[in-house]
C-alpha cells in the first residue's frame, strides 16, 4: 500500500512539474499569462498616523478610523511599496493573551499601495482567535493607474510572520451575486 501511495505521489509530482514546464513554454511563445502567483510579507505595522476613535461596551472595544503606514515586499514588484491601512475593529478585551499578541478580534481595513508603476486600492477582512491560535485575513486589491485592469487577491498570516501568498489576475474583481432564490 505504501509503495502505491509513493508511486502515485511521484507520478503526480512529475505530472505537475511537466505541466508547469509546458505552461511556461506556452507562455514564452507569445501568450501573456492571465494570472501570476506571488509571495511576500508586510515589513512594519507600527508607523501610526491616527488612533481613530475608540469606545467600549461590555468588554468589547470598537475602534474606527485607526490609520497606519506599512510596507509590502512581494516577489511581484507590482505589489511592493508603501501601503496605508485604515482599520475598523472589534476586540474582545475579556479574551487576550498577556503579551497582547493574540486576542479575539475582527477587522475591516481599506488599503492603498502606491509605487512607480501605479497604485492599488484594497479591502481586507481579518480575524484573530486566541482559542484557535490564528490571526489571518484576506485582501483584495483593484489596480489603478499603471495597474488599471488588474486585480490581486492575498491570504495573510498576520501572526507572527505577516507573510502572504496571492495572485494577480488580468481583469476586474467579479461582483458578488445576488443570493440564490428558488
pLDDT tens, position by position, 18-54: 343 333 333 445 556 689 999 999 986 667 899 999 9
Using CA atoms, how far apart are residues 115 and 82, in angstroms rounded to an integer? 7
Boundaries of every domain in the chain:
35-170
Does this model's pTM top 0.85? My answer is no
Q: pLDDT tens-digit profile of 105-158? A: 999 999 999 999 999 999 999 999 988 888 999 999 999 999 999 999 999 998
**Contact between 164 and 178 (Cβ < 8 Å):** no
Considering the domain 35-170, what is its CATH architecture?
Beta Barrel (2.40)
Place of cell 443570493: 179
Q: Cell digits for 58?
A: 461590555
> Which 8-state DSSP code applies to residue 102?
S
Using CA atoms, how far apart are residues 80 and 91, in angstroms rounded to an integer? 29
Amino acid at each position: 500500500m505504501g509503495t502505491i501511495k509513493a508511486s502515485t505521489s511521484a507520478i503526480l509530482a512529475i505530472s505537475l512539474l511537466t505541466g508547469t514546464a509546458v505552461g511556461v513554454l506556452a507562455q514564452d511563445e507569445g501568450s501573456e499569462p492571465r494570472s501570476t502567483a506571488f509571495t511576500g510579507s508586510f515589513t512594519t505595522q507600527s508607523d501610526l498616523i491616527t488612533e481613530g476613535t475608540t469606545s467600549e461596551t461590555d468588554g468589547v472595544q470598537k475602534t474606527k478610523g485607526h490609520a497606519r503606514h506599512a510596507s509590502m515586499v512581494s516577489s511581484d514588484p507590482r505589489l511592493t511599496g508603501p501601503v496605508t491601512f485604515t482599520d475598523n475593529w472589534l476586540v474582545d478585551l475579556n479574551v487576550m493573551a498577556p503579551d497582547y499578541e493574540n486576542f479575539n478580534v475582527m477587522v475591516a481595513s481599506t488599503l492603498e499601495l502606491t509605487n512607480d508603476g501605479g497604485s492599488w486600492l484594497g479591502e481586507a477582512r481579518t480575524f484573530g482567535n486566541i482559542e484557535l491560535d490564528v490571526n489571518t485575513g484576506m485582501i483584495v486589491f483593484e489596480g489603478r493607474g499603471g495597474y488599471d485592469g488588474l486585480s490581486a487577491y492575498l491570504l495573510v498570516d498576520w501572526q507572527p510572520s505577516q507573510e502572504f501568498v496571492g495572485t494577480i489576475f488580468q481583469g476586474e474583481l467579479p461582483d458578488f451575486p445576488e443570493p440564490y432564490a428558488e
